[in-house]
């Protein structure tokens, strides 16, 4: 049993100064069978600690229904077995380029004041923490576990200034048994540090460069306490339709050295990024400080240009960091663990069946209802997935513009069974007017809820109504298709695969020899989701920069493996608006290809050096 405390200048373990050399690794972005290997990689890099967030929405999919909360406890046990300490950041908000910043859709769609003293927010937070915290409390360092510190909220100064809420949250952590030191983390700016700080709670800062300036700003607000960069942004994340972002390894190592020369502790964000499996990738908004600009959905890969790449392999940045960190280690660093096995040979899937989106919706979709105005995803209890809206245009009437007011995010629109266009936020009106009478069908897909900024928690779907000219169209029929409903497609009736790459659910098999880590490529497919053996790999999109989906080796098995692909748009050459909206690259999609990782990176695009000016 040990005691970890916060001194005036140092962290103290059993009364002796200790420097935390930590790395972020999210247990929910790494297959559980690979935790041990990834933790071993962190230790070999020279780290003595690992940090993880906890995504509330993953573990409480509906109010009071909890899903595998013990997964965090199992991860912390793996941390202890690896000989590392742990920092836990339970939120309730986490950002992390994760769907809705970790907040449940059923809460953010209810009109409550998020991240505030609003009792409608506090009550579900209290219920969630009372379920979660036993996993942490039992594994604190004073009880023989690895947990040294627990965070209060997350970068709250970037969002709000409700000191009553922050104090309530800190008191809740204490009341539920957290006795290790608490801390906050914010950007090194005065409004962030004053808005996000809690009196008596250690303050840490997040940045990607200029450590001396950042720590000087922190000292201006907190003259005492250990210095720590809780998020050293050593890489960055990618958005669909943008370039792949990288950071020069030598420049990043120099920034890390500066942090350590200041006598500070550090947490590498990310040490190993992993993958946003299951369609859990979030989204950001451009537009400067107020983040009111266009939606920027995050790609499935969370490689983050981290020192340990998406497959757990050391990069040049790993070796540069290892060299810097070795000077601060207690002894020689352990050998780097051998890389996990990879797929023995590439294999092409044989597509054996297809079901239209309507067929899939009838088999596994939610209940259908009729509404005066189009309901949001939240009202239909859809966290990740699609919603189909149907409405009639009365007639006879002349052709007039059809608009999906307040559309989020992408919509494929058909008029009388013929596709009329692909619309997006900011491009909400069909190019060709619609005459009445007509039947309009709209399939809307959420590209990920905003995970950072004032628009976190905004609703999804058609949020402002369906308009014919200026007239609202009432009597909207709507039905949701949750992504997790497709984890088992046994009830979906399949027919032979049609020619032409129509939207729908495709089912096939791929025969594997030498199972191991792999990538799934979908040449000519436009946008959708893929599964292997019922495990959702996440979203693919021909817009790039991600060109393939990572398949963890434990998901594959020798011999036949099932592959399911939900294609949301198709790759029809007769829809030029589709090419403009999603960048389709082929008229007819080719069968998915499972290939070994060594052949190429799943990310492409021009390199861009980024020191970091945002948030994790």
Catalytic positions, written as ranges: 155, 231
Chain Cα centroid distance, residue 40: 24
Do the beta carbons of residue 375 and residue 408 sit within 8 Å?
no
Q: In which order are the strands placed within the sheet that holds 471-472? A: 402-408, 461-468, 471-472
The pair of three-digit structure tokens given for residue 204, joined into one six-digit string: 């840490």
Strand ranges (E), 115-264: 147-151, 182-186, 202-207, 228-233
The DSSP 8-state label assigned to residue 243 in this structure reads P
**CA gap 87, 387 in Å, rounded:** 38
SS3 sequence of 47-71 = CCEEEEECCHHHHCCECCECCCCHH
Phi first, then psi, for residue 213 (nearest 5°) are -65, -40
The DSSP 8-state label assigned to residue 343 in this structure reads -
- Mark 483-504 as b/e (b = at least 16 C-beta within 10 Å): bebbeebeebebeebeeebbbb
Dihedral sign of CA atoms 14, 17, 87, 550 in order: negative
The pair of three-digit structure tokens given for residue 156, joined into one six-digit string: 């709250």
Do the beta carbons of residue 457 and residue 283 sit within 8 Å?
no
The DSSP 8-state label assigned to residue 28 in this structure reads G
Token pair 């939610």 is at which residue? 366
User: Residues in the chain, how many?
Assistant: 616
Other CB atoms within a 10 A radius of the CB of residue 41 amount to: 25
Query: Which spans in 338-477 are helix H?
Result: 357-364
Other CB atoms within a 10 A radius of the CB of residue 64 amount to: 9
**CA gap 503, 347 in Å, rounded:** 24
**CA gap 585, 260 in Å, rounded:** 47
Point out which residues pair with 434 in neighbouring strands.
Answer: 400
The DSSP 8-state label assigned to residue 360 in this structure reads H
Q: Among candidates 126, 25, 21, which has minimal Cα distance to 76?
A: 25
**CA gap 290, 52 in Å, rounded:** 27
The pair of three-digit structure tokens given for residue 501, joined into one six-digit string: 């790459």
């Amino acid at each position: 049993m040990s005691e970890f405390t916060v001194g005036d200048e140092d962290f103290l373990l059993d009364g002796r100064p200790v420097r935390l050399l930590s790395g972020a690794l999210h247990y929910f972005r790494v297959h559980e069978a690979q935790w041990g290997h990834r933790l071993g990689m962190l230790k070999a890099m020279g780290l003595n600690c690992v940090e993880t967030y906890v995504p509330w929405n993953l573990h409480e999919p509906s109010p009071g229904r909890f899903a595998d909360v013990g997964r965090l406890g199992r991860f912390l046990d793996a941390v202890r077995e690896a000989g590392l300490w742990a920092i836990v950041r339970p939120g309730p908000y986490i950002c992390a380029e994760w769907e809705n910043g970790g907040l449940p859709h059923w809460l953010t769609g209810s009109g409550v004041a998020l991240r505030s003293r609003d009792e409608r927010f506090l009550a579900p937070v209290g219920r969630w923490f009372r379920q979660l915290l036993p996993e942490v409390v039992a594994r604190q360092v004073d009880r023989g576990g690895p947990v040294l510190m627990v965070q209060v909220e997350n970068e709250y100064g970037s969002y709000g200034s409700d000191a009553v809420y922050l104090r309530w949250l800190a008191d809740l952590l204490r009341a539920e048994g957290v006795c290790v030191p608490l801390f906050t983390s914010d950007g090194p700016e005065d409004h962030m540090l004053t808005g996000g700080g809690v009196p008596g709670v250690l303050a840490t800062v997040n940045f990607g460069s200029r450590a001396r300036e950042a720590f000087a700003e922190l000292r201006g607000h907190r003259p005492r306490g250990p210095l720590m960069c809780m998020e050293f942004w050593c890489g960055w994340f990618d958005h669909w339709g943008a370039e792949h972002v990288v950071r020069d390894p030598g420049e990043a190592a120099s920034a890390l050295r500066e942090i350590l020369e200041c006598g500070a502790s550090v947490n590498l964000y990310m040490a190993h990024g992993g993958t946003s499996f299951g369609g859990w990738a979030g989204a950001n908004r451009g537009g400067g400080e107020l983040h009111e600009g266009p939606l920027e959905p995050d790609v499935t890969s969370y490689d983050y240009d981290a020192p340990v790449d998406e497959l757990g392999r050391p990069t040049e940045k790993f070796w540069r960091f290892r060299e810097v960190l070795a000077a601060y280690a207690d002894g020689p660093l352990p050998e780097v663990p051998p890389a996990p096995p990879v797929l023995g040979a590439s294999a092409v899937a044989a597509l054996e069946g297809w079901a239209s989106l309507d067929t899939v919706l009838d088999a596994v979709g939610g209940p259908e209802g009729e509404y005066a105005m189009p309901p949001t995803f939240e009202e239909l209890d859809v966290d990740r997935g699609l919603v189909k809206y149907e409405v009639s245009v009365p007639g006879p009437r002349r052709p007039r513009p059809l608009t999906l007011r307040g559309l989020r995010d992408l919509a494929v629109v058909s008029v009388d069974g013929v596709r009329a266009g692909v619309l997006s936020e900011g491009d909400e009106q069909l190019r060709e007017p619609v005459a009445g009478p007509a039947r309009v069908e709209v399939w809307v897909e959420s590209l990920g809820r905003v995970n950072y900024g004032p628009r976190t928690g905004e609703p999804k779907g058609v949020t402002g109504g369906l308009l014919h000219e200026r007239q609202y169209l009432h009597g909207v029929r709507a039905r949701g298709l949750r992504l997790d409903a497709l984890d088992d497609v046994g009830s979906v009736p399949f027919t032979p695969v049609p020619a032409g790459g129509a939207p729908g659910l495709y089912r096939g098999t791929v025969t594997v020899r030498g199972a191991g880590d792999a990538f799934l490529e979908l040449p000519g497919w436009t946008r959708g989701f893929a599964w292997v053996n019922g495990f959702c790999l996440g979203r693919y999109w021909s817009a790039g920069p991600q060109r393939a989906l990572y398949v963890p080796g434990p998901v594959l098995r020798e011999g036949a493996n099932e592959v399911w692909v939900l294609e949301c748009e198709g790759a029809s050459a007769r829809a030029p608006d589709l090419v403009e909206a999603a960048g389709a690259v082929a008229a007819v999609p080719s069968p998915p290809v499972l290939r070994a990782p060594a052949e190429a990176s799943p990310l492409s695009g021009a390199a861009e050096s980024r020191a970091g000016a945002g948030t994790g």
